[in-house]
Structure 1
Amino acid sequence: MAKLSTSMLLLLCLFVLSVSATPIQTVDDDDAVGENSTSTFFNLTVLHINDIHCRFEEANKFGGACTAQESADGKCFGGYARLVHQSRHIRQQNPNTIFLSAGDFFQGTIWYTIHKWKAVSRFGNLLNLTAMSLGNHEFDDGVDGLLPFVEAANHPVIAANIDTSGEPRLHGKIPKSKVIEVDGRKIGIIGYLTPETSHISSPDGVQIFDEIRGVREEAERLKMEGVNILIAVGHAGYHKDVQIAEQVPDIDLVVGGHTNTFLWNGPAPSTEEPTGSYPTLVKQPSGRNVPVVQAFAFGKYLGNLMVTFNDDGEVIATAGLPILMDKTVPRDPHVVQELAPYREEVESLAEKEVGKTLVFLNGSRSSCRFGECNLGSFIADAYVNLFTKFAGPGQWSKVGIALLNSGAIRSSIDERVRNGSITYGNILSVAPFPNTVDVVKINGETLKKVLEFSVQDYDPSALDPLGGFLQVSGIQVVYDASRPKGDRVVELLARCNNCRIPVYLPVEPKEMYDVAMSSYLAGGGDGYKLLKGNIIEHTLTGMLDADTIINYMGKMSPIVAGLDRRISFVNGNDKSFCDKIGEGIGSETSGSMGVTVTPTVLATIASTITRNVDPQGSPAYSATSTVPQPSVAAITAADAM
């Protein structure tokens, strides 16, 4: 078998060491240069990003807004200022550098809600990208939102598997590929986009067909034109990236996005767990190995791959690792200055009203982590509502049920503050994590196991209850926590979505269910590894749960959300109603509004509850209500006042 010549190997090592200390990975020994060969190497540095989702400024380790304290402590990552600095620095060191984006600049933070494509274009152009593929979120505001971005971009926006004939405004605006020349070598960059975009975004008249077909046809065309280095960059997910690498014979490298996949070699530098090696080498039927890369998301990492080609355009070696954009990476001062006026508008939006409530929206730990709470139910309902616009034939919604881990609910909303006005700031206090609302397909057996896990460690006397207890929409579940773990679901009904009149039907083990939930839960968060391991199909929307809640609040205002026995316990083995009275918000600050409520509790409880009512409207007032047994998830005294 042919070997790399000593001189060529030395040159390759010098190339790699000039940028990274990672070892050389030989890709194709059969294509390597022999000892007496006169062939020359062509070295190319490929910088890449994907799924930035409007993290214009640095974010915390989870992709959420970085607080002043976190920034001061050096616990924040990414931001355009760091990306601009680091990409410029690498380009100065290595002129043979290209910079690619695999899509989804749009959507994901309040910055996009306010500034839309204008901010994305302004700061995206500062990166001086070589090319960018479309992402599904680039269509979130339809062609009206995409067209001005494409026209303002200083780089090509590409996709080989779309048909714009139904959208004349985009005619000629989005090419299939871009051919560039680097150090005398022609490089073809081919874009692709997931067809799921038609179901999870708003592409209007744009038709999206199979990615592999689109990339293959364009690769064949470019090869015929003498372009022998071909790179696919696209937004369809790691699994599809691997398929393209395997099934498109002419492709030399695949740069992907959409699934926020973290690839790494060795111990991970932060909180992300690697899905595979960087790069992932995919063997084609011919024996060629094709590297596949992604760079997680949110600009936390800058993908950094060094690729060596022979004269025939074949990859013979790779090296590199993503660069963690932490405090050690300087921020470009010009970009920091440019961000300031945009930030001012973002900060002012925190006080903008997004809805009104006539009732207390209870998000307290003492309620939501022990049973049904009305804020948890409302958020889960918002998840289902998001997918009504994607309903297929015979459906009223793409999904009829939703699950929400109670740990995602971080505060309550008090209807007595600001006369029930709900602000952006309130919502970000309730849902501060950068979770998106996803859809997973699971069978009924898995759904039941997931709900069993919800009460696996249920302890009514716990002082620090776990956040894995699930709030639900479209589910009616009865638990008996006195039974053995794994056998506590006494009854389980799910709402149909393929029906003209939504009804609750017994969950069947082999039946398939589409379930809306947060990306955190779908990824196995709060210990739900059994869920992650049994997902049959996972659809990413990229829609933030905070935005989903805001949209639903606008639709439902004024809000009157109550308790409707979605979650029940038998044998009195849940935390009793008596125990819950006075907890909830007894010493809790409601949201970010700075109001502490300390209610006076005047109640006695048996099978009935009597509350004393003050006709002047003080916290203790008189009325009588009956609580049926078995008990259901209860509200606090303050919740009811």
Structure 2
Amino acid sequence: MINSSCRITALAFLIASMSYAVGVGAHGEVLLEPHSASHFKYDLSSAPSILPNEGYPFHTTYGNGHSARKEAKLPLIHKHIRIVVTNDIHGHEDEFNPAGGECNSDDRRRNQCIAGAARRMHTFNLLRRGHPYTLFMDSGDVFQGPLMHSFFGGMASAHVMNIIGYTAMTLGNHEFDDGIEKLVAFIRALNFPVVCSNLDLTNAPSLDAVVLPRYIIPGYNIGLVGFTTVMTKEISLGRGVGSIGFLDPAEAVQRQIDLLYDEGATVVFALSHNGYRQDMKLVRRTRGLKLVFGGHSHTLLSSDPDDPDSRGPFPTVAYDREGKPVYIVQSKKFGEYVGYLDLTMNDDGDIEYLSGQAIHQGFDVPQEPSMYELVQSFQSMYDVLGGRIISRSLVDMDQVPCKVGECHLGNLVMEAMRALGGNTGADLVLFNSDVMRAGLRLGGITLAHVAGVFPNSNQLVLAHLTGRELRQAFEGSATERHPADGNVVNAFVQAYGVRLHYNFAAKYFAKVEVGAPFGAATDLTTKWTALEDDRVYKVLTTNFIAMGGDHVLAKSVPYENIAYLSVMLALYLQNHPVVDPALYGHMVTVDPPSVI
């Protein structure tokens, strides 16, 4: 039995129990009510609206695709429109530093604080000015991010999106992480529709009641479809997700496209949370789309061909199964960029003119004052908990390198895992890199920073795995295919107590060795030996991995909970006033064998 004496401190309230009661006022305002505290209200009656018709259910469809009405194709009402797009905000309503964490005084002094809802609203207002026919779209993953999301459970983001005046959004995989009930509450708090076409909600009636499979924007005759990644069932542990069917996007979306044209839509656009490359594949399998507003892969597309961070043009042109052009856009993540498109269409809905770009939300972009005050009022509710410095780092710890190899942040987390799980007799540590959602900067580390690294309710657990299961996990992590069944592995793993020989770029895995005693990865004189396939190893990992998440393991395994990852890291940092995690060299890049 694991000693639980140091599992939960007051941080359990901070991380595990921070929830707000939510209501909707008589005039449409969202009420955020902390336990035994007065209501916090922000009146939405004066919030800007871009919908010409107030009651948004118009030409909408409900449930599993039953049409609200059918009619002949109607003429396009507005031929010159501007569309503003965001994706993968992940709860970043406050500004953040380059590592994705909460800004501190040093970041502000160095002008390194970027993005946030106040800058986003300033940019939205500029883009709206002089363009009366402007639509605002979001491609999902509003959920899971800094302490603000953990504290409000998505309701702060709902509030912000209502004030800005979004037209529609689709669902990302992280919208499901907190379970169906919280997702339904979030959607009910919005004053615009959520469109997702590739869900079978037969066994999730509460979600079925609030998610639309298709939608025609009132006053525009523009149809919308939406879709999310079919991997959601594997990468989200939210309660009730197992009752949802995630359908092949191309087939499901095509059905809704055809129905939209039957119902009078002149043109159809898609909101995607499926990734840049997957969007191009979907376009090739469908017909009738004109634009895809993308998300999920956090891809920066740029109209500047010399932009070193760009992964493609903004917009990217793909061709549907009839050879017609479809334009795809995406704007990185966290609201660091806001994308927009100006387009002119003819009476048939064909795009005759198109231009746009992704606008960086740097420190020099002004923050809209009323939104800034709102975000600060949100933050003040948890600053007393989240603002306290508990440790200092002597090194920057970016999260991005952890996706392909050894990293400072991953090694810090594994040190924390070893510290809290040290009395379990564990042989090694492994966990999925994507469980870390933000990095840590050189300087002070607060509880809010910790919550930014681990915004989800994932836990440190003890599991028992055979050497064969471990070797297959490491091989699948390097090659992105699980050797046991050939299925896709969606995460690179961080590991401690082992030495890996691989080449991630070449999708090649050579071998894994284990060092004894536990933790010998830091000792370069250690004798490394091969994993024994039939031996059972004690492994410190995450409940997400143990439950089969990201398909790191071919099947789920039993496990014993130890502590929330956020609590684990906070406890470790409290006990280590200064941290300087080293790189041990236990992930060795090797050349794949030559192909003759």
Same fold per TM (> 0.5)?
yes
CA distance in structure 1 between the partners assigned to 2:77 and 2:441 by the alignment:
59
CA distance in structure 1 between the partners assigned to 2:130 and 2:443 by the alignment:
52
Distance change (3 Å), C-alpha of 1:292 and 1:362: closer
- Whichever residue aligns with residue 564 of structure 2, its letter is N
- Whichever residue aligns with residue 97 of structure 2, its letter is N
Residue of structure 1 equivalent to 2:267 = 229
Matches within 5 A, 1:218-617: 218-266=256-304, 273-350=309-386, 376-379=413-416, 424=447, 427=450, 441-443=477-479, 451-452=500-501, 491-493=529-531, 501-502=536-537, 551-552=564-565, 554=567
- Whichever residue aligns with residue 100 of structure 1, its letter is M
3-state SS, counterpart of residue 343 of structure 2: strand
- Note the residue ranges of structure 2 that are not aligned, 5 or more in a row: 1-75, 396-405, 422-428, 460-472, 484-491, 504-512, 553-560, 580-584, 587-596
Measure how far apart 1:192 and its partner are. Answer: 0.8
3-state SS, counterpart of residue 442 of structure 1: helix
3-state SS, counterpart of residue 441 of structure 1: helix
Measure how far apart 1:67 and its partner are. Answer: 2.1
3-state SS, counterpart of residue 222 of structure 2: strand
Residue of structure 1 equivalent to 2:227 = 192
TM-score by structure 2 length? 0.60
CA distance in structure 1 between the partners assigned to 2:562 and 2:440 by the alignment:
12
Which among 119, 143, 159 is matched to residue 82 of structure 1? 119
Measure how far apart 1:432 and its partner are. Answer: 10
Which among 19, 34, 44 is matched to residue 81 of structure 2? 44
- Whichever residue aligns with residue 477 of structure 2, its letter is K
Matches within 5 A, 1:83-162: 83-162=120-199
Check the 8 A contact 1:495/1:503 in 2, yes or no: no
Measure how far apart 1:492 and its partner are. Answer: 4.5
Check the 8 A contact 2:82/2:134 in 1, yes or no: yes
CA distance in structure 2 between the partners assigned to 1:51 and 1:133 by the alignment:
11
CA distance in structure 2 between the partners assigned to 1:181 and 1:319 by the alignment:
24
- Whichever residue aligns with residue 240 of structure 1, its letter is Q
CA distance in structure 2 between the partners assigned to 1:334 and 1:381 by the alignment:
45
Measure how far apart 1:226 and its partner are. Answer: 2.4
Measure how far apart 1:423 and its partner are. Answer: 8.1
Distance change (3 Å), C-alpha of 1:100 and 1:382: farther
Distance change (3 Å), C-alpha of 1:471 and 1:549: farther
3-state SS, counterpart of residue 93 of structure 1: coil
Residue of structure 2 equivalent to 1:70 = 107
Distance change (3 Å), C-alpha of 1:593 and 1:214: same
Measure how far apart 1:175 and its partner are. Answer: 0.6
Check the 8 A contact 1:177/1:189 in 2, yes or no: yes
Distance change (3 Å), C-alpha of 1:317 and 1:492: farther
3-state SS, counterpart of residue 89 of structure 1: helix
Measure how far apart 1:224 and its partner are. Answer: 1.6
CA distance in structure 1 between the partners assigned to 2:516 and 2:355 by the alignment:
48
CA distance in structure 2 between the partners assigned to 1:557 and 1:426 by the alignment:
10
Distance change (3 Å), C-alpha of 1:592 and 1:123: farther
Amino-acid identity (%): 25
3-state SS, counterpart of residue 234 of structure 1: strand
- Note the residue ranges of structure 1 that are not aligned, 5 or more in a row: 1-38, 355-360, 385-398, 414-421, 455-469, 483-487, 505-513, 518-536, 540-547, 560-589, 597-631, 634-641
Check the 8 A contact 2:514/2:530 in 1, yes or no: no
Distance change (3 Å), C-alpha of 1:441 and 1:556: closer
Cα deviations by residue, 1:27-81 (Å, 9 ceiling, x for unpaired)? xxxxxxxxxxxx9992221110000011111112332222234334432221111
Distance change (3 Å), C-alpha of 1:256 and 1:381: farther
Distance change (3 Å), C-alpha of 1:189 and 1:558: closer
Residue of structure 2 equivalent to 1:613 = none
Distance change (3 Å), C-alpha of 1:363 and 1:69: closer
- Whichever residue aligns with residue 362 of structure 2, its letter is D
Measure how far apart 1:213 and its partner are. Answer: 1.4
Measure how far apart 1:164 and its partner are. Answer: 1.8
Distance change (3 Å), C-alpha of 1:106 and 1:362: closer
- The reply to whether residue 163 of structure 1 matches residue 212 of structure 2 is no
Measure how far apart 1:363 and its partner are. Answer: 9.1
CA-based RMSD of the aligned residues comes to 5.3
Measure how far apart 1:491 and its partner are. Answer: 3.9
Distance change (3 Å), C-alpha of 1:591 and 1:46: same
3-state SS, counterpart of residue 329 of structure 1: coil
Check the 8 A contact 2:100/2:439 in 1, yes or no: no
Bigger relative contact order, structure 1 or 2, given CA contacts below 8 A and separation 6+? 2
TM-score by structure 1 length? 0.56
Structure whose CA Rg is larger = 1
Check the 8 A contact 1:257/1:294 in 2, yes or no: yes
Check the 8 A contact 1:62/1:433 in 2, yes or no: no
Distance change (3 Å), C-alpha of 1:298 and 1:479: closer
- Whichever residue aligns with residue 191 of structure 1, its letter is G
CA distance in structure 1 between the partners assigned to 2:520 and 2:578 by the alignment:
34
Distance change (3 Å), C-alpha of 1:339 and 1:64: same
Check the 8 A contact 1:163/1:206 in 2, yes or no: yes
Measure how far apart 1:305 and its partner are. Answer: 1.4
3-state SS, counterpart of residue 149 of structure 1: helix
Check the 8 A contact 2:393/2:441 in 1, yes or no: yes
Number of aligned pairs?
434
